[in-house]
Chains A and B, each alone.
Chain A
């Protein structure tokens, strides 16, 4: 339970890196790009990735508030039934977080495309003959920096995915345990398990707030 929560702060910084990298990528002049036709799908990947990150920030803010409310209400639960309902709602919220960063989700795919675009740019710049050596070196260095920060951010997003997965698993395992306890009429024990979840959820809520503060959508 501690890992997913402790690592959310790092994930926050990672999303900030992605946003910053995309901001530079979208703002930086790309001489080679202006003189040669881009592949349409690849050309829009950066913009779309930026837009998706902006959307992500909005939805994470909303979900964060709901998780916070969930943590507050779960503490006051008087019956296991109420607790189960609350955990079910929390699973839905965490599921949305996980869905946003899933490997087959749009953000992950666009991140991979943005990385691929940086690779392509580097490859084409290295073969470039139009620019002076120092100009070419400047462009290559800039794209290398962008590639490195994008790659690092994608790695951190992978970590966020792992944290959200573990959090979701913790919630569902506890829910199953509560269900089993209720079947044998151990209602008091079930309530105890529910209340024990409060601290963990509250910690996750705090970390998620930090994550939101760190996301800086390109152009903002």
Chain B
């Protein structure tokens, strides 16, 4: 019983570390803000409707895939590098077909990688 309890506590502590210690933020903006925002996904999660064209999401550190729903399925727009306690801003141009990522800072070789 005690072992199970200790195990559960250890798991909770680990979950807390993962949640608090390895988190960054992704800000997604759509331009123009008045345009109907496309259905976006960050990794497997659907991004809820963007309020006033902007949303800020808490994401685990690493690289996340920003995708848009199209007639032929999900289409990858860009990769977003999420760094600990930093915010990466990605602007999605809804006027382009398909929509296009505009990174405030890009990877040195790959312009489709946004870095915070």
Interface size on A, residues (CB 8 A): 19
29 contacts between A and B (CB under 8 A): A88-B85, A94-B85, A95-B23, A95-B24, A95-B85, A96-B20, A98-B56, A98-B58, A98-B87, A99-B58, A102-B25, A102-B58, A103-B48, A103-B51, A104-B48, A104-B57, A158-B51, A158-B52, A161-B56, A162-B56, A165-B56, A165-B87, A168-B25, A168-B86, A168-B87, A169-B87, A172-B86, A172-B87, A172-B116
Secondary structure type dominating chain B contacts: strand
Contact assessment for B51 and A99 in the assembled complex, using a CB-CB cutoff below 8 Å: no
Contact assessment for B86 and A91 in the assembled complex, using a CB-CB cutoff below 8 Å: yes
How far is the CB of B64 from the nearest CB of chain A, in Å? 12
CB nearest neighbor in A for B19? A99
Q: When A and B form their complex, which 9 residue pairs have the shortest distance between CB atoms, in order from nearest?
A: A95-B85, A102-B58, A91-B85, A103-B55, A104-B57, A92-B85, A99-B58, A168-B87, A172-B86
Across-interface contacts of B48 in A (CB, < 8 A): 103-104
Interface presence of B54 (CB below 8 A): yes
CB nearest neighbor in B for A175? B86
Interface presence of A213 (CB below 8 A): no
**20 additional contacts (CB under 8 A) given A91-B85, A95-B85:** A88-B85, A95-B24, A95-B86, A98-B58, A98-B87, A99-B23, A103-B48, A103-B55, A104-B48, A104-B57, A104-B58, A105-B58, A158-B52, A162-B54, A162-B56, A165-B56, A165-B87, A168-B85, A168-B86, A169-B89
Interface presence of B71 (CB below 8 A): no
Across-interface contacts of B23 in A (CB, < 8 A): 95, 99
Which of A105, A162, A169 lies at the interface centre, i.e. has the most chain B CB atoms within 10 A of its CB? Answer: A169
Q: How far is the CA of A168 from the CA of B48 in the complex (A)?
A: 23
Which of B25, B51, B52 lies at the interface centre, i.e. has the most chain A CB atoms within 10 A of its CB? Answer: B25
Q: How far is the CA of A95 from the CA of B27 in the complex (A)?
A: 13
8 A Cβ contacts from A72-111 to B: 88, 91-92, 94-96, 98-99, 102-105
Secondary structure type dominating chain A contacts: helix
Q: Bits for B16-60, please: 1 = Cβ < 8 Å to A, else 0.
A: 000010011101000000000000000001001001101111100
Q: How far is the CA of A95 from the CA of B41 in the complex (A)?
A: 23
How far is the CB of B115 from the nearest CB of chain A, in Å? 11
Contact assessment for A98 and B25 in the assembled complex, using a CB-CB cutoff below 8 Å: yes
Contact assessment for A104 and B86 in the assembled complex, using a CB-CB cutoff below 8 Å: no
Q: How far is the CA of A15 from the CA of B51 in the complex (A)?
A: 19
Residue in A92, A95, A102, A104 whose beta carbon sits within 8 Å of that of B45 in the complex: A104
Contact assessment for A95 and B56 in the assembled complex, using a CB-CB cutoff below 8 Å: no
Q: How far is the CA of A91 from the CA of B85 in the complex (A)?
A: 6
Residue in B25, B52, B89 whose beta carbon sits within 8 Å of that of A95 in the complex: B25
Contact assessment for A103 and B57 in the assembled complex, using a CB-CB cutoff below 8 Å: yes
CB nearest neighbor in B for A92? B85
Residue in A88, A91, A103, A172 whose beta carbon sits within 8 Å of that of B56 in the complex: A103
Across-interface contacts of A88 in B (CB, < 8 A): 85
Q: How far is the CA of A172 from the CA of B54 in the complex (A)?
A: 20
CB nearest neighbor in B for A166? B87
8 A Cβ contacts from B76-107 to A: 85-87, 89
